[in-house]
A and B are shown apart, each in its own frame.
Chain A
Amino acid sequence: MANNTRSPLWRKQAVMLVLASALIAGCSGNTGNNNNSAPNTGTPTNSAAPSPGDSSASSEPISLTYWTGLNAFAARSLKEYGESLFYQELEKRTNVKVKFEHPAVGSEAEQFNLLIASGKLPDVIEYNFTTYPGGPEKAISDKVIIPLNDIVEQHAPNLKAYLDANPEMKKEISTDNGTIYAFPALGTGNSNVSSGLVLRKDWLDELGLGVPETIEEWTNVLTQFKEKKGAKTPLTMTLAEFKSERFNGAFGIGIGFYLDGGQVKYGPIEPGYKDYLTQLNAWYKDGLLDPDFATQDGAAKDAKATNGSAGAFPAFIGSAMGKYLTANKDSNPAYDLVAAQHPVLNKGEEPRFFTAAYDYRGENSAGITPANKNAERTAAWLDYLYSEEGNLLKSFGVEGTTYTLEGDYPKYTDLIVNNPDGLSIGDAMAKYLRVSTPSPGFVGDDRYTEQYYSFDQQKHAVKLFNQYYDNLKDTRLPRVTPTVDEGQELSSIMAEVNTYFEEMFMQFVMGAAPIAEFDGYTAQLKKMGIERAIEIYQSAYERYMKR
């Protein structure tokens, strides 16, 4: 009776896909169990190439249609990117007028599909082409975007210089055949790991405990939190957080697919996983792990993290840590947090598994479509964003308005950090710049990150979480591209595997299934075809290595 208008099937399916894509978008940060071996090359290239911005300013003005999702924060104060300071200034400098087409926030994936179905392509599409079924190569053969190798060679000197200097990155942004298909959003700076475990520092200090490093120390800290601080749920997590690399790394296994000496492996069937489950089960039995981790949502976890029920929890440096620290500012000034290094088994070991963004972000990379009549000018225009000057404009804006130079360090003005209209720093950045979410050009500039995080605890957390980032080179599966058929086969296998794995995971942790059944469980996963899935990833990985 609730639905007075029975929605037809297509509508349900569509809604389903909307939600699906929302979750995919949401998870991409978590499931980034793959990786690359690209080095973290500090700031953008200081290329000597002539700035195309200058050269094109002299040429005829052109106009482009540009399809991209509007950043959720920008949507609060802008109707379209054309209104932002960054794009207005960019137009002045380059003589390229841009007409933006924005799908509704959160509907980017559906709208992208419809765009292709309708066949009416704009000049530029900003999208995560790595999620295109069959990969970007397929997007090119489908005539959605054009290959860019020659164009980058001749008309994008800044990007070319950067790629030449960073061959690993070049591998990452190319297809298996070596085709460049987009102007990528490239992570610079050392902040790809943006979440980790956090503890109540005031409690640790009070109990005279150090920040735990090993699993054993964790057990001790959690026990003391429970016994001496009366924490009802010493360690609280939501179920979704068990899909990120948290405690599993200590047992030498990744949370999903990962690399071990060039071999693709799947964590949940490895022997190390048994130890991991045994540990979680022990914590669960002893009341150290929140018994409601499966049923609680983010809001319930937030409450426990801030009201003294929990003393340890995973957190994003930005959203969660910042939120928790502010929440208690007035009511409980003693409340303090400290980030803990990803735990290991034995003292002195280095953590090797992190949930981190890829250096090549994937999302919001700009492809040029076959409909574009000015492909070369467009390329030069996009290339400007990879120049020192362009990066400064994109990340910091216009000197004197949104930043001032202190030495050669750009410092945000009050318009950004202390906005007179009452905009928060995130909103202000979204209104004037294009810095906080991926976009063509460089993202995650350290100079931005430092000013963005307001608490010292956050600044410490960024450094600590990213300290051993390089170890990911050996353990994270890079962003490989399964073929269309492989993709379909994978989704068939994984739909069953995930369902079974998730159910068993809960049973092992909560003790409903004895750990002795672990072998039966791995056998069942194999029956469901997990080995075939590993094989698919392995061959995709080998194609990747040959790029």
Chain B
Amino acid sequence: METTSVKKTKGERIFQAILVLFMLFMIVITLYPFIYVLLSSISDSRQLISHTGLLLSPQGLNLDAYVKVFQNPNIIGGYVNTIVIVVGGTLLNLFMTSLGAYVLSRKGVPWTRTVMLLIVFTMFFSGGLIPMYLLVNNWLDLGNSLLALIIPGLISTWNLIILRTSFEAIPDGLIESARMDGAQDFTILFRIVLPLSLPVMAVMVLFYGVSHWNSWFSAMIYLRDRELFPLQLILREILIQNSTAYMSGDASASDVEAVGESIKYATIIVATLPILAVYPFLQKYFVKGVMIGSIKG
């Protein structure tokens, strides 16, 4: 659509105007949570707690929360671990999911239906936490290693289904003609199917990458060594510190600090900004015509 500069009708111009207004509204309401967190993180907690209503400017500027966050001896290591998990995990995810999605999207293979059914079945029935822990920790001996955060989640069934659906949309003719030319399935997948599926592969990178980035549960279960903790687990610990301060019965956990509240928000910012930067890079794959180029070429 970007390519056409056909004259717009009056109706279309009115529609565009309303659309822009609506989208501005969406921007305002979806940007607010982020602004709120950002403003809270640079506020002075002592003033922040008496504030009610919309937060539109920082309540007394105070950047100590960020200093505190980076004083935490685990944060830097947490970044490194998270990046290792995100990059390594996502690459393996993409490889495995593409394999599965490709095979399951082939028509005329008699057993794909059964395999698909068996795979979907696992979305509903599972053995629970403890058998999984015993499998990973005791039998496979992956406990306390980053592999425990990657291997058990090699394929997300949901993503597999999406990718398969997208592969199915690729015209059979393309694949058949490649086969005629003597290409076998590995080649077809990597030379034809994947290049034709860049938008959905970008989505897969995003889905897998973000879920690795945000995940803390496996780390909490399998890791014992704090040196291996990913960022999100440390973030969670900091959030918990803040909430237990309320609840603890003992005299103890009662810190009266300028950063008490804002540290929570600073941690969220620190833990979120890097992954937010990824999407704009992936967006360029969402452009129309990637497909047509390959078909003609």
Contact = CB atoms under 8 A, between A and B. Distances in A.
A328 B60 CA distance: 13
Contact of B134 (A118, A318, A329): A118
A302 interface: yes
Q: How large is the interface on A (under 10, 10 to 19, 20 to 34, 35 or more residues)?
A: 35 or more
A5 B217 CA distance: 14
B217 A26 contact: no
A106 B47 contact: no
A300 B241 contact: no
Contact of B126 (A9, A80, A303): A9
A57 interface: no
B33 to A, nearest CB: 14
A322 B256 contact: yes
Contacts of A29: 247-250
Interface in B39-88: 46-47, 49-52, 67-68, 71-74
B256 A76 contact: no
Interface in B228-266: 229, 233, 236-238, 240-241, 243-257, 260-261
Contacts of B130: 113-114, 117
Contacts of B219: 104
Given A77-B73, A104-B220, A424-B255, 6 more contacts: A29-B248, A104-B223, A117-B133, A319-B245, A437-B248, A437-B252
B176 interface: no
B159 interface: yes
Nearest to A105: B237
Contacts of B210: 4
Interface residues of B, number: 65
Given A102-B226, A104-B220, A316-B246, A22 B255 contact: no
B108 to A, nearest CB: 29
Given A5-B207, A107-B220, A25 B137 contact: no
Contacts of B249: 28-30, 32, 194-195, 355-357
A399 to B, nearest CB: 23
DSSP majority for the B interface?
Answer: helix
Contacts of A191: 251
B260 A303 contact: no
A467 to B, nearest CB: 16
B138 interface: yes
Contacts of B72: 75-77
Nearest to A328: B50
A73 B253 contact: yes
Contact of A319 (B47, B71, B255): B255
Interface string A409-425: 00000000000001011
Interface string B204-222: 0001001100000101110
Contacts of B67: 422
A436 interface: yes
Contact of B49 (A30, A302, A438): A302
Interface string A437-480: 11000011000110011100000001000000000000000000
A484 interface: no
A333 interface: no
A101 B223 CA distance: 10
Given A9-B126, A194-B251, A318-B253, A327 B133 contact: no
B197 interface: no
Contact of A102 (B159, B221, B224, B243): B224
B243 A26 contact: yes
Contacts of A357: 249-250
Interface in A185-207: 191, 194-195
A307 interface: yes
B123 interface: yes
Nearest to A14: B129
B126 A424 contact: no
Contacts of B251: 191, 194, 317-318, 436, 444, 448-449, 452-453, 462
A426 B223 contact: no
A258 to B, nearest CB: 17
A303 B245 contact: no
B111 interface: no
B50 A5 contact: no
Contacts of A407: none
A238 B85 CA distance: 41
Contacts of A304: 52
Interface string B92-111: 00000000000000000000
Interface in A23-56: 25-30, 32
A383 B238 CA distance: 33
A154 B220 CA distance: 39
